[in-house]
Amino acid sequence: MASLGFESFTKKIYIRTSTAKVYHCWATQEGLCSWFLREAIFKNSAGKIKAPDIEIEKGDSYTWRWHNWDGEEQGEIITANGKDQIEFTFAEFCRVIVRMETENDQVLLTLIQTNIPTDEKNKMNIHVGCSNGWTFWLANLKAYLEHGILLNETRNDLRNIPLASFHFVNI
């Protein structure tokens, strides 16, 4: 068995759908805002904002905003092959790789977050926080694609609750 450490983590989930649908959910503003984000803005390398249904490409930049969190995430698309793999910068230092493999009538989605600093603050905030977060969001993607439902909280405003992002499982 490979050893586990704080510098990276891997999350996997099977989703009964097509690779094309999963890729669309990751590679477009329209897709990301259907299950994951309140707002996603993608700009090409010339700084022009992409239309909601246009797929991301290597060199694009992004700004993401969630429900129930006032912060935003900015980063760059490192790889987007148009079919089954996306890689982007995340959480300032990190890289996230999203791979999709078709297995029979389902897609095995693998998410790997790497390059996590291993000081105590980043072990908690990035390793624990992102690992928990991605676990929920991948389950939300599965619920959305397989059953047409969302599990994340959009009705109640949780932003003024101390440690809400650590206590609520569906933020």
Segment 23-38, tens digit of pLDDT: 999 999 999 999 999 9
Model pLDDT, residue 125: 93
Given a contact cutoff of 8 angstroms between Cβ atoms, the answer to whether 60 and 50 are in contact is: yes
Instruction: Judge whether 141 lies within some domain.
Output: yes
In a domain, 4, yes or no: no
CATH number at residue 22: 3.30.530.20
Q: What is the largest CA-CA distance in the chain?
A: 46
pLDDT band for position 171 (cuts 50, 70, 90): confident
- Domain-embedded: residue 156: yes
Residue 101 lies in a domain: yes
Task: Give the pLDDT of residue 19.
Answer: 98
Query: In this model, does residue 170 exceed pLDDT 90?
Result: no
Range of the domain at 22: 9-167
Q: Is the pLDDT reported for residue 1 higher than 70?
A: no
Q: State yes or no: pLDDT of 145 exceeds 80.
A: yes
Q: What is the CA radius of gyration of the chain?
A: 16
Residue 118 inside a domain? The answer is yes
Above pLDDT 70, what percent of the chain? 99
pTM metric for this prediction: 0.96
Q: Assess if residue 1 is contained within a domain.
A: no
Residue 65 has a pLDDT of 97
Task: Count Cβ neighbours within 10 Å for each residue of 12-44 and write b for 16 or more, e otherwise.
Answer: ebebebebeebbbbbbbbebbbebbbeebbbee
Number of folded domains in the chain? 1
Asked, for residue 94, whether it belongs to a domain, the answer is: yes
* 75 domain-assigned: yes
pLDDT digits (tens, 9 = 90+) for 81-123: 999 999 999 999 999 999 999 999 999 999 999 999 999 999 9
